[in-house]
Chains A and B, each alone.
Chain A
Amino acid sequence: MCGAGFGHFRWLAGGGAGQDVGRSCILVSIAGKNVMLDCGMHMGFNDDRRFPDFSYITQNGRLTDFLDCVIISHFHLDHCGALPYFSEMVGYDGPIYMTHPTQAICPILLEDYRKIAVDKKGEANFFTSQMIKDCMKKVVAVHLHQTVQVDDELEIKAYYAGHVLGAAMFQIKVGSESVVYTGDYNMTPDRHLGAAWIDKCRPNLLITESTYATTIRDSKRCRERDFLKKVHETVERGGKVLIPVFALGRAQELCILLETFWERMNLKVPIYFSTGLTEKANHYYKLFIPWTNQKIRKTFVQRNMFEFKHIKAFDRAFADNPGPMVVFATPGMLHAGQSLQIFRKWAGNEKNMVIMPGYCVQGTVGHKILSGQRKLEMEGRQVLEVKMQVEYMSFSAHADAKGIMQLVGQAEPESVLLVHGEAKKMEFLKQKIEQELRVSCYMPANGETVTLPTSPSIPVGISLGLLKREMAQGLLPEAKKPRLLHGTLIMKDSNFRLVSSEQALKELGLAEHQLRFTCRVHLHDTRKEQETALRVYSHLKSILKDHCVQHLPDGSVTVESILIQAAAPSEDPGTKVLLVSWTYQDEELGSFLTSLLKKGLPQAPS
């Protein structure tokens, strides 16, 4: 919806309230293009409220026609969980862009989630495995810093976001207008991922999550300390620690941490890594390397990342071994598989501990124990009493207030838009951003539309000939003052050129026509026409000191390019007629001369 020289963005959120349980789905309209950013699932609801309301977007008409593309920032379900529903059940056949690791990991998480929803909770209106596969066929994977042409006007580029493996921030550009969407990102590097980074791309708008905008984060060291303390205390008293993890990424981080600590403290307690994870490890290895931070990459050059000194592969028989141990097992929400098996064996002993490292979807054992449930109904109506300690540690890396300011400082946008906050309550933050970073700050509520006016620049090429001619006028151009230039604007094939009129005529194959005006001025003068002409010449010369006034041999007078001739009409010898003639370009001067001459000539000195 870009009018002449006036562009605007429309922003629409399908996001949810609340901290950990929000969902992301943002629609941006930029210079006539429509892009959907993320397509998340609201984890707190079991019914249709968990999906964004896509009817907001277009009342009638197909989404595929309306949307130019969909971009997914990373594999967390609150950013991609509604994607198969959206593409296969609502209907969208256009491209879906994401990074390579996201493309690899998304379908696994979606399938896991589908299994929980359908098999465990018996849900009806949910997407199928086939839908996930069909949805992923529409995915186009991108590399970091690679400019991808969605069509001949719209281009996108991914930037490193930290946060989780494969997470990216996206720049969306149409002509000279651009918007950057951050997704979730982190400004402090951790043990296995680097910090988010973006260049000074100066977008018109930067869209960033504000869920953590009003937090001041506890330092990474203290969070790690907390984890180490819990693990250490448990193994010291002879207990076993179970850490359910998804796959690489966070598990990697924790393994490196424990390995360092075990080495420092010279501990002998065994640490195990379940086989499910090691299998996936080699598969993800290639994906992982470009996404880790420098330190990790250097270490990996030296050894395979799963060759830890103190961490060994797990065998299910080990779960029955007496004595303390630490085990990393999949899946992460304790909803099936090895981690659940181990949990069932260890839950009854209060010396043991389970550390949940992330959010768990409703319906899983993980979710139940994090809600405080201590008696669980398992298959076959067996009741499991949970006496082991349950700890919930949030290892996810998000940017806090300080991090957001840092990123805004890097990108230097004109405006910032904060998503997922509670607008009324963030007045202070808005003021802070506006004052310190000198950008406008918007905080729309869910479902609200924000329109930002922009003034896009239209590049016009000026022909060399025209420039040279202007220079030849004699006056040097002044850097700060505008200079009036006459030319012809040619618009062809989205190209704008300013050329001289002659050139334009030539290109168009048109003949040049000259317009010439002639005006008659009657004067009372009894002398001969030659004398009249001389009188005219003297008069004009004395008045028009800035102009070039000449008396030609044939008796005519010129003022610049204007010609004045005196003639004597045959009827009346006392009257002389001045013929003043000028071209269209000299209209102004010509009119001026005419009115001047009409006032008459001064009396000749005697």
Chain B
Amino acid sequence: MDPADDWLVDSLRLYQDFYAFDLSGATRVLEWIDDKGVFVAGYESLKKNEILHLKLPLRLSVNENKGLFPERDFKVRHGGFSDRSIFDLKHVPHTRLLVTSGLPGCYLQVWQVAEDSDVIKAVSTITVHEKEESLWPRVAVFSAVAPRVLHGARLRSLQVVDLESRKTTYTSDVSDSEELSSLQVLDADTFAFCCASGQLGLVDTRQKWAPLENRSPGPGSGGERWCAEVGSWGQGPGPSIASLGSDGRLCLLDPRDLCHPVSSVQCPVSIPSPDPELLRVTWAPGLKNCLAISGFDGTVQVYDATSWDGTRSQVEPLFTHRGHIFLDGNGMDPAPLVTTHTWHPCRPKTLLSATNDASLHVWDWVDLRAPH
């Protein structure tokens, strides 16, 4: 039996469920629309890219009588074409609109998902404040009756724009040229930003620019790149911000004190990361204190941070998804690199992950610690 078959037999006890797909093009985007569909988008620079709205296999959407649904396939519900590469895509909640960002980074593209056909059409653009050739603006959406788009490539070019009127409703109004690595809307008035240097901030848009901030992470910060994600916002005490560095360090922070991480651990990953822009850290929406990280290689690692405190330095993942390495690579091609991952909004242990060789996996891992 070849290694792939061996791994597959192992997978019987490691995964409750496992699906593997080949997309027509690799994606760096996995954006949910309700809990039944995701958007993916290509990022090639020399040819036309596709944006696809994929409906999850029925088996993943039903709770009753699962065994009676034989279909294990994604359905392409909508599709569109983009001349630019797409690095970020956000769905505007309660609408049929999407906002994408890519290179060249001088504008954001707004798309409409058709109702009576399967077409995703480009409808308008949002110009950005500062035109950068090689940086693409990060995007986040304030969902409201009048949705607003938050975007920026650097701190000084951060803006909130009303989608309908295109009026700027908020700017950072600073001259800081720090490069942004992620933006996240937390509620109707607040958003979080993370700079590539590791600088984090929480901003209340009801006030003039005065974010709760930290400074860049402490010693050892020699050119690493950072990204971050805020977990369950406003739901009780405890660390809810996770920050991941390209040297494999994972810090957990409490929003009340961004300057002193609650814990800082070293993840067993191969460093340096081949493409630090692909780093991703996510909180599990359905599992307390669980995180997933990716972007170092062809794996996705899941951690349980429950007992992490300031003293822990080395940690081991609760689970490592190796499917991309065994199923997709055949030993001859360069090893795949995970470009993005996301948690299923309703199924606690189900994740989706994508790689640079256009594979997409949906996997439901088994917590081997749990009693049978």
Contact = CB atoms under 8 A, between A and B. Distances in A.
Interface of A: 212, 214-219, 221-226, 228-229, 232, 260-261, 264-265, 370, 372, 389-394, 400-402, 424-429, 431-432, 435
B188 interface: no
A427 B117 contact: yes
Contacts of B18: 222, 225
Contacts, number: 105
Given A427-B117, A431-B81, A217 B68 contact: no
B112 to A, nearest CB: 13
B76 A216 contact: yes
B4 A400 contact: no
Interface in B43-82: 48, 50, 54, 57, 65, 67-81
B68 A370 contact: yes
| Main secondary structure on B side of the interface with A | mixed
Nearest to A398: B73
A265 to B, nearest CB: 7
Given A222-B72, A401-B76, 15 more contacts: A214-B75, A214-B77, A217-B73, A218-B72, A218-B74, A221-B327, A223-B72, A225-B18, A394-B72, A402-B22, A424-B116, A424-B117, A427-B117, A427-B118, A432-B79
B21 interface: yes
A394 B70 contact: yes
A441 to B, nearest CB: 14
Contacts of A221: 4, 8, 20, 327
A219 B48 contact: no
B266 interface: no
Contacts of A261: 9
Interface in B255-305: none
B68 A390 contact: yes
Nearest to A219: B20
A215 B70 contact: no
Interface of B: 1, 4-5, 8-9, 11-12, 17-24, 48, 50, 54, 57, 65, 67-81, 116-120, 327
Contacts of B76: 214-216, 401, 428-429
Contacts of A389: 67
A401 B24 contact: yes
Contact of B67 (A223, A264, A390, A401): A390
Which of A222, A232, A260, A426 gathers most chain B CB within 10 Å?
A222
Contacts of A435: 48, 81
Contacts of B20: 218-219, 221-222
B196 to A, nearest CB: 34
14 contacts: A215-B76, A216-B21, A216-B73, A218-B57, A218-B74, A219-B22, A225-B8, A225-B11, A389-B67, A401-B24, A425-B118, A428-B80, A428-B117, A428-B120
Given A217-B21, A425-B118, A428-B80, A372 B1 contact: no
Contacts of A223: 72
A261 B11 CA distance: 13
B19 A218 contact: yes
Nearest to B11: A225
